[in-house]
Amino acid sequence: MNETTQQAIVQTLREKILAGELSPGQRLVEAQLAQWLGVSRTPLRYALSVLSSEGLLDRSGARGYVVRRFSVRDVLNAIDVRGVLEGLAARSVAEGGVGAALAAALDDCLRDGDEIFRNGQLKPGDDVRYADMNGRFHSLIIEAAQNAAVSAALSLNDKIPFVSPFTIAFDEAARERQFMMLMYAHRQHHAITDALKNGEGARVEALMKEHTHISKESLNLSLPALHLIAGAA
């Protein structure tokens, strides 16, 4: 069994957990899972141990695992952690100076976001476009910081549902409020980019921390619909 196949099983299981196909509190039985996924038990065992180390599964007995239940507090705490870590990264980028390539890539993200909000309402597919743009924007700053410890901590933190910048919790019932909220978040993207280009380290660190409050508000709007978080009401 090669490493690529092992990683594919890890990714498949991770996606099924985050999509709610494997529900919070569900016990995972190796033999049944192996049959369901059509894989042998050795790489599956490896995948389960990886997902346990990421915090998506809890150990149960000698060989068993259960899908972890995330409380709303777990998610909100992890969003706070993201704000602190991204603030640290952004500050180091601002103080180190923003090169032409990074400035251009950030400007591309700003243009893509501006286009989404130009019509005054979210069209079908705009939620996916926004999440992709948002993820790229945040990733550019993290990569530019070249801080392996921050990158590793964020990678682990992002495994908690709804914490990654690539994940936006949308709620059809509150579409208008969500539009206003995301438009405000995108104005923050503009302010963050300006602070980075101007070398304003303390300002951009504060802006990044403030920016995560939008993630929390967006999540609060969507809580009734979230099946990933057990007892989220």
Both 56 and 82 in one domain: the answer is: no
CATH of residue 61's domain is: 1.10.10.10
Among residues 42, 67, 92, the one where a domain terminates is 67
pLDDT tens digits, residue range 208-225? 999 998 888 877 666 554
Secondary structure (3-state) at 91: helix
Backbone region of residue 59 per phi and psi (left: phi > 0; alpha: psi in -120 to 50; beta: other values): beta
Is residue 233 in some structural domain? no
How many alpha carbons fall within 13 Å on the CB side of residue 8?
Answer: 9
Per cent of the chain over pLDDT 70 is 89
Both 61 and 86 in one domain: the answer is: no
pTM: 0.77
Residue 194 CB burial class (10 angstroms; 0-12, 13-18, ≥19): middle
pLDDT above 80 (res 169) = no
pLDDT above 60 (res 21) = yes
- Measured CA to CA in angstroms, residue 48 lies from 1, 14, 65 at distances of 16, 10, 8
Tell me which residue of 82, 76, 50, 75 sits closest to 65, measured CA to CA.
Answer: 50
Both 11 and 116 in one domain: the answer is: no
Q: Quick one: pLDDT at residue 224?
A: 54
pLDDT above 60 (res 1) = no
Secondary structure (3-state) at 187: helix
Both 88 and 33 in one domain: the answer is: no
CATH of residue 176's domain is: 1.20.120.530
CA 53 from centre of chain = 18
Structure tokens belonging to residue 201: 């380290």
Residue 216 CB burial class (10 angstroms; 0-12, 13-18, ≥19): middle
pLDDT tens digits, residue range 40-73? 988 999 999 988 887 889 888 877 899 988 877 8
| Nearest-angstrom CA–CA distance, 190 and 152 | 26
Lowest-pLDDT range, 2-6, 18-22, 35-39, 221-225? 221-225
Secondary structure (3-state) at 56: coil
> Which residue range(s) make up the domain with 38?
3-67
CA 103 from centre of chain = 23
Give yes or no for a contact between 65 and 72, defined as CB atoms under 8 angstroms apart. Answer: no
Q: How many domains does the chain have?
A: 2
pLDDT above 60 (res 31) = yes
Both 172 and 80 in one domain: the answer is: yes
